[in-house]
Each structure stands twice: as C-alpha cells, then as structure tokens.
Amino acid sequence: MLKVALATYAKLPDLSEDDGLLREQLRRRGVDARPVVWNDPGVAWAAFDRVVIRSAWDYHLFLPEFLVWLDLLEKQRIPLWNPAALVRVNASKLYLRDLASAGLRVAPTAWIERGSEVDLAGLLESRGWAEAVVKPAVSASAFRTWRVAAADFSRSASRDAFRRLAAEGDVLVQRFLPEVQSEGEWSFVFLGGEFSHAVLKQPAPGDFRVQEEFGGRVVAAAPAASALREARAFATQVRGPWAFARIDGVVVDGTLCLMEVELIEPQLFLGRDPHAAARLADAVLAPAEPTLPPAATPPV
C-alpha cells in the first residue's frame, strides 16, 4: 500500500478541514494517507513513499529548519509535492521581482534589501503612492504585514517597526490597491497543471487583509474570462513538475494584477468545488520526481 505523508504543523496535527477532504480521496484510492507534523523530530520520513506539504502554516517562522527539512527529503530521495527546488524559490516573495522583470503585471512593489536604510515616507512620495502595504519577503497569512501612509512615518513607532523589519530580512513595500477593499482578491486554484476553480476573498470592513483570521470571508463568485486567461498565463511561469498552485490577484482597471503565486502550503478551498479534492488526489499520485534537474531554469 502506498504511504503518503500530509505535512502539517503542530497547531493542526490532524489537518485542516479542507485537507481532510484530500485525505479521504486518497484513502478511497487505497492509499495510507497520514497527517504528519513537518518538524516533528521523531518522524521517519523514509517510511513514506511521498510527502505532500499541506497545512504547514508555520514554515515562515522556522525557515532555516524548514529548508533543512527539504534537504533531508531530497537526500533520502523522497518525492515531494511540490518539489523542493520549487518550494525553496517560492519561500521568499522576491520571486515576484523576477516575474515583474519578465513583463508580467505584478502589484507595484519596491524591494528593500535586508539592512537597507530607507526613508519610507520619501519612497512613497517619490512613487506617488498615497498608501502602501509593508510585508516581509518571507511571510504567510499577513504575518507582520501592515498598511501605511506617508504621514504615519512621522510617528517614531512606525519608523522603528519598519527599521526592525528591514534589519531582520528583505522587505516588500507594495502600493496599496483599493480594489482589495472594494472588490476583493481572487484565488485561482490549479491542480495537476490545470485550472480547477476560483474563489473571491474579501476583507472585513475597514481592513485590507483577506485572511479568515482577520475577519476575511470567501464569497461565491465567477471570475471574468479575461482574469482567468491572465491567471493561466501566470501559472505557465511555474516551471518543472508541480501538483498544485494558487494564483492570487486583484483586478485593477480590468486586468488581473498578481499578488502572489502560492506553491508551498496554500489553502486550496477544496470544499468550494465538489471535484477539487479528487483532482488533487490524482495530481499527488501522479509519477513524482524527488527533485528538479540541477540544470533546470530556476522556477517561480
């Protein structure tokens, strides 16, 4: 019997409700699918035929350990979805800079290197941005992410918070897109390389964060055909084999503006489509490669 580890984190040792749907579909296919905490030192990973990263929603808090874990799986040649090479690149949002350089429409962003001394108020003024969103390059679920206006940096607390963030790692400063509040953010889910379904996420009144832990909600809606075409174009930038991807974007002036390409442990909203969990089960059971070829072009 094929043994599959569904990697999760300590706060969700039995997986999220959504990932439970995947587990059930794998079991229907005769697979021994088990939730396993990714940084549990007692796990014998070699006992599994493959590993699927799912609810590992604390990886950004333990990135060095997470990268060591990826190395371990590679050394033991345990197939991983998504592949370790893809996960490493996607762990830092700096991949968005490469996509923007390739001519793709990415949310307008200033890239602040670790240790840089930046006058953020001056940066916003020079770019003509009334407001911006500040976030670490390595983050998830709006971790240490906040919305600012130039006037905020007259306050020492705001200046100090930004300096601490830049001292600890690379930082993204993105132009605030009011469409996030007025319309919401789309998540396009691709499984096995093909489009599966989409959801629209909206923030709580007065907020800009669409995550449920901040009061955000998922609403039933169908994306425009043009937005879906643009999401597909972003998905084609993901090189190498992959089982799942989530393309997050905001429609601005009729065009999808990319916020993120989620390839590590995104919520896939499997419960929003009656066939999504089955599609994902088929994708993770497809022939897997333990790593990308060393000479491969760096993926997203």
Say if residue 291's pLDDT is above 70.
no
Higher pLDDT among residues 46 and 102, named by residue: 46
Residue 115 to residues 83, 95, 154, 262, Cα–Cα distance (Å)? 31, 19, 21, 26
Cβ-proximal residues to 154 (8 Å cutoff; 6+ apart), any chain: 121
Question: In the structure encoding, which two tokens stand for residue 276, read together?
Answer: 């999504």
Tell me whether strands 109-112 and 171-175 are parallel, antiparallel or unpaired. Answer: antiparallel
Say if residue 299's pLDDT is above 70.
no
Largest CA distance in the chain: 62
Report the 10 Å Cβ neighbour count for 174. Answer: 20
Say if residue 80's pLDDT is above 90.
yes
User: pLDDT tens digits for 160-176?
Assistant: 778 888 888 889 999 98
Say if residue 244's pLDDT is above 60.
yes
* pLDDT category of residue 296 using cuts at 50, 70 and 90: very low
The model's pTM: 0.91
Say if residue 242's pLDDT is above 80.
yes
* DSSP state, residue 14: T
Is residue 74 within 8 Å of residue 84, measured between CB atoms?
yes
**Which among 141, 117, 122, 102 is positioned nearest to 258, based on CA atoms?**
102
Sorted by where each starts, the structural domains of the chain and their CATH numbers stand as: 3-90 (3.40.50.20), 108-175 (3.30.1490.20), 179-271 (3.30.470.20)
